Amino acid sequence: MKDVAALAGVGIKTVSRVVNGEPMVTEATARRVWDAVERLDYHLDQRAGSLRRSDGATSSIALLVSDVANPFAGELHRGVEDVARARGVAVLASSLDEDPEREAEVIRDSIRRHVDGIILDTVSHDPATLSGVLGLGVPTVLVDRALPGVDTDCVTSDTRAAAARATRHLLDGGHRRLALLTERLIVPTAVERRDGFLDALGEAGLREQDALLVSGLTSAERAERALAGLLASPRPPTAVLSAQNLIAEGAVRALWRAGLQHAIAHVGFDDLPLADVLDPGLTVIRQDPQRMGRLAAERLFRRLDGEALEAEHLIVPTRLIVRGSGEIRPVSP
């Protein structure tokens, strides 16, 4: 703490007030302190965490997700809440909007509010940046998205293997011109699903250039426009893998509006409401976000209970749910 104070040009008591969210510190001073904390990669002693606040634990934890409006985040939240409520702990959820800078800001805000722990669906792609804010003395568990190089507990699905499984399913159906629709490639799961897609292509003797890869899709509307453009091109895909639930929603609309829902195979990642009553039903890779949330919360509370645990990566299996859309065969030339 002395080094932080020296670098920020303030006293040790001022550093303590800033990291504990206490009043009577100007915004400019607080910013200098947080900059010094990050530059020095300063870690508070978690064993002394109760000394950071006069009233002890606040019986609250933060759940930080990309977008609380996304159904995936809602199921994740329910899993966390089921565990937290049994312990009389409140869950404070916030959206990160796929913005690493906002993520760092929201983590700091959560710490200032003295939450007892954080469950984080990270949007960062930079381990160094995330490590700087995760080392501030509050137990943290990553969920859904892993980030290599960050030494903390993590609960994810087998997302790269699942994307490869979905791609093989389309390849086994005879398809050789596949399209992959993904989020921005700063998102860890988007990178893993792209890599799984390419793994399966390589196993089939195909190259990345043989496929159509579209990334940067941040909404169902953008996914719909992107796929509509591919469908109208001289060499449209015969099969599509949508690597996120909102992207799958947009792809379904594009196929229906083009009248190609029975002609182009489609597999989605994550389930959609009413996906089973579409015609054809949507074949999906189904994750289990509620279980992921429960496991993340259980891990966090074990740390809050004082257990000495090594950082662990827990993997929740996925399932391929066959409903019809992913089994459409390519039309012979």
Sign of CA dihedral 128, 132, 135, 141: negative
| Predicted confidence (pLDDT) per residue in 139-192, tens digit | 999 999 988 888 889 999 999 999 999 999 999 999 999 999 999 998 889 999
pLDDT at 22: 62
Check residues 331 and 88 and name the one with the higher pLDDT: 88
Distance (Å) of CA 302 to CA 87, 134, 139, 140, 310: 12, 18, 10, 11, 12
* CATH T-level fold of 51-157+290-316: Rossmann fold (3.40.50)
Over residues 311-330, mean pLDDT: 96
Q: Which one of 2.60.40.2130, 1.10.260.40, 3.40.47.10, 3.30.710.10 gives the CATH number of domain 1-42?
A: 1.10.260.40
Cα end-to-end span (Å), the chain: 70
Which positions ≥6 away from 108 have C-beta within 8 Å? 34, 133, 136
Q: How many CB atoms lie within 10 A of CB 100?
A: 16
- The answer to whether 76 and 289 are in contact (CB under 8 A) is yes
Identify the residue with better confidence: 148 or 332: 148
- pLDDT of 52 strictly over 60: no
pLDDT (tens digit per residue) in 102-150: 988 898 888 888 899 999 999 877 777 677 767 777 899 999 998 888 8
Mean pLDDT of the chain: 88
Alpha carbon distance 234, 154 (integer Å): 44
pLDDT tops 90 at residue 39:
no
With a cut of 90, say whether residue 101 has pLDDT above it. no
**Within a 10 A sphere around the Cβ of 149, how many other Cβ atoms?**
9
User: pTM here?
Assistant: 0.80
In the predicted model, is pLDDT for residue 266 greater than 70?
yes
What is the CATH code of the structural domain delimited by 159-287+319-327? 3.40.50.2300
Are 215 and 183 a contacting pair, CB within 8 Å? yes
Provide the percentage of residues in the chain whose pLDDT is more than 70: 91
Does residue 315 have a pLDDT over 80? yes
Q: What is the pLDDT of residue 136?
A: 75
DSSP per residue over 265-327, as a string?
Answer: EEEEES--TTGGGSSSBPEEEE--HHHHHHHHHHHHHHHHTT------EEEE--EEE--BGGG
Backbone φ, ψ for residue 260 (5° rounding): -115, 15
Helix then strand then coil, % of the chain, to nearest 5: 45, 15, 40
159-287+319-327 shares the fold of 1-42 = no
Q: Residue ranges of the domains in the chain?
A: 1-42, 51-157+290-316, 159-287+319-327
